[in-house]
Copies of this chain bind each other. A is one copy, B any other.
Amino acid sequence: MQRRKQDEMTSIARIPDTPKKRVVIVGSGFAGLRLARSLSSRNFQVVVIDKNNYHQFQPLLYQVATSGLEPAAIAFPLRKIFQNKKHIHIRVAKFLAVDKDMNCIRTSIGTIQYDYFVIAIGVRPNFFGNRNIEKYALSMKAISDAIYIRNIILENFEKALSADTEEEMALMNIVIAGGGPTGVELAGAIAEMRKFILPKDYPELDFNKMEIHLMEGTDRLLGGMSLKASERSKLFLENMGIKVRLEAIVKDYDGKVVLLDDGTSIRSETLLWAAGIKACEVKGLPSETYGKGGRIVVDEFNKVHGTTNIFAIGDIAIMISEKYPSGHPQVAQPAIQQGLQLSKNLKRLQLSRSLMPFRYAEKGSLATVGRNRAVADLPFGSFSGFWAWVLWLFVHLMSLVGKKNRLFVIISWFLSYFTYDRSFRLLIKPKTRKSP
């Protein structure tokens, strides 16, 4: 083990040498992928580092977790995206640290030199230091998390068939912490399962006993959206039978009972954690680089403070401006726009031109609550209901990478809509190593 670590620190990852400047991008989410796709082969050699060999479409993770989509529909192989692009080198590897003095990064496959280094590794769940919640709650930032949640939810209903009454209630109950888009969308999808599918799948269980709780710490849902959207989404959820509580903070959880800050508690074997995020850790940058929530402080060109050739884009970056005193919202649009802008600025750097500052073009926000119901804040105003839902469908479909994925998602949605079904409720237990 010691020896392997040593090797990782000293060996050099095999990437072809070229006379072109090398841009190393860590992370292939919205920001990193947009940047990599926009960098021209004329100017750059591009190295993309990711733990996974696919780009994942995070906005629809909740549909995988609730059996509405199969994982492959929201994952797209990176190598397919960059087929025939010889200037792009994909490496499935773990990013360990950056050495800004040596202009290199350390990864699980060795060190990699860069001319420009771009950090686009996003965020992870924030449990605010509570080890119990971290241990027992389920969070959802990746496809493997979503599959895991799907399995746990399905497994709990299977167990409920054999459980005693009181226990049974706890197995069926689901508590969601966090009333942002993820929490709201999860709650809506689970309520629809309870209404349309679970009673048919488990005629032996009484689903009147199944409670769905949504806990939000502030005084409204969807804090990033308009007041109207907050109110409408709460109304929609309550009409679906979800117990929404505002100004309610989950204080502790032992895997069986969720304890709230007002001293009340809820029996539940499933606590879904969507109550906070923090930046993924980047080792090797000076401590003054990290801002609020561990985000990396960047200037208006997405350059990391105190460096000359290191950039951060997407959720992990915090760019403070007059209009956005606490940075841009940590959603897809700023990430995509920053990726695109940085590709232009890197080209300008190559041509010794001055850089163009990033200006976020707000396109609006959307959140869906279920069948025919969504809320939308657009530059010209807010609306909700059926047309907001249609807009939500359209925007998400168009944002997916790959025609095949779009086709599979549209068919899955079409079938779900007309059959009231969510057909991917498969409890596929993963095989991680061979049993000898």
Contacts and interface: CB of A to CB of B under 8 A. Distances in A.
Interface of A: 13-14, 16, 52-54, 70-73, 75, 77, 79-80, 83-84, 86, 89, 91-92, 109-110, 131, 134-136, 138, 143-145, 147-148, 154-155, 158, 161-162, 200-204, 402, 404, 407-408, 411, 415, 421, 423-432, 434, 436
B408 A148 contact: no
Given A72-B70, A203-B86, A426 B14 contact: no
Contacts of A424: 72
Contact of A147 (B136, B201, B407, B431): B431
Nearest to A138: B434
B14 A161 contact: yes
Contacts of A428: 52, 54, 71, 75, 143-144, 147
Given A70-B72, A109-B162, A432-B430, A425 B147 contact: no
A53 B144 contact: no
Nearest to A154: B53
A92 B426 contact: no
A200 to B, nearest CB: 5
Nearest to A198: B79
A209 to B, nearest CB: 16
Given A52-B427, A70-B71, A70-B72, A80 B162 contact: no
Contact of A54 (B91, B92, B426): B426
Contacts of A404: 415, 423
Contact of A92 (B13, B84, B143, B427): B427
A14 B162 contact: yes
B204 A425 contact: no
A430 B144 contact: yes
Nearest to A411: B407
28 contacts: A53-B154, A70-B71, A70-B72, A71-B428, A72-B423, A72-B426, A77-B423, A77-B426, A79-B202, A84-B200, A89-B204, A91-B161, A92-B158, A92-B427, A110-B162, A131-B436, A134-B436, A135-B434, A138-B434, A143-B428, A144-B428, A144-B430, A148-B430, A402-B423, A404-B415, A411-B411, A430-B431, A432-B432
Given A70-B73, A89-B204, A143-B428, 8 more contacts: A70-B71, A75-B428, A91-B158, A131-B436, A144-B428, A144-B429, A147-B428, A402-B423
A71 B434 contact: no
B80 A421 contact: yes
Nearest to A200: B83
A424 B283 CA distance: 33
A426 B80 contact: no
A53 B425 contact: yes
Nearest to A402: B423
Contacts of A75: 426, 428
Contacts of A431: 144-145, 147-148, 430
B134 A201 contact: no
Nearest 4 interchain pairs by C-beta = A430-B430, A70-B72, A79-B201, A135-B436
Contacts of A92: 155, 158, 427
A158 B16 CA distance: 15
A427 to B, nearest CB: 4
